[in-house]
Amino acid sequence: MSDAPLIRLSGITKTYGRGQAALQALKGIDLVVEAGDFVAIMGPSGSGKSTAMNILGCLDTPTRGSYEFQGVRVEQLSRNQRALLRRHYLGFVFQGFNLLARTTALENVELPLIYRGEPSAARHAAARAALAQVGLQGWEHHSPGELSGGQQQRVAIARAIVTRPAVLLADEPTGNLDTRNSQEIMGLISAFNRDNGITVLMVTHEPDMAAYARRVIRFVDGRVDSDRRNGEAA
């Protein structure tokens, strides 16, 4: 198992609906991601990239095919086992921030640790440290409504990394931000990949943001159309 890649998708298909109403979102995806990689996933709307991310994040299961995480067959796990995998190995960042409006930045960041059953003092310390890592020391007691869009996304990143996940899954993390904030957020994500060894899988429509990744995978019509290292010819 130690020789297994971090992630391996083999022949992954995903079909929604049945009969004439069936929609095949993924049509046989093969993909290998090694620990420490930074992968940007691109493609037009409806290409299957978000469906693939949901499967990678254990938020959905494939219709057919194999998903291995550190050598473990994820599609064979129970719902509770997949929830434990999410809780202990995965962190999520979304375009819409998904912060709780009536709670402070600190309380938002603590949420994953509450689900883990961490004691209060440990939660507070870890959440403060995560906020400091994203440059929000001193903003712990501000609510999302008191923060800019860039600051809210920093809180969301702190919440994603407070558990020290193996993988950060980012779905359009700069989609609601201006250019300056987008660059700052991508700088943070790149630093966590480079300095902490967190594997990053990021969906983006923006070539400027994909340029931060080491590898760019393009989806078209439910299939992998191209998979190249940044700097290689398209």
pLDDT top residue among 96 and 54: 54
**pLDDT tens digits for 63-99?**
999 999 999 999 999 999 999 999 999 999 988 888 9
- Reported as a pLDDT band with limits 50, 70 and 90, residue 115 is confident
Banded pLDDT at 1 (limits 50, 70, 90) = very low
Residue 163 or residue 232, greater confidence: 163
**What is the strand order of the sheet 7-16 is part of?**
23-33, 7-16, 64-69, 72-73
Return the exposure string of 191-213: e unless at least 16 CB atoms fall within 10 Å of the residue's CB, then b: ebbeeeebbbbbbbeeeebbebb
**CA-closest candidate to residue 206, choices 229, 232, 234, 179:** 179
In CATH, 7-229 is 3.40.50.720: no
Where residue 168 falls among pLDDT bands split at 50, 70, 90?
very high
What is the rounded distance in angstroms from the CA atom of residue 145 to the CA atom of residue 43?
Answer: 33
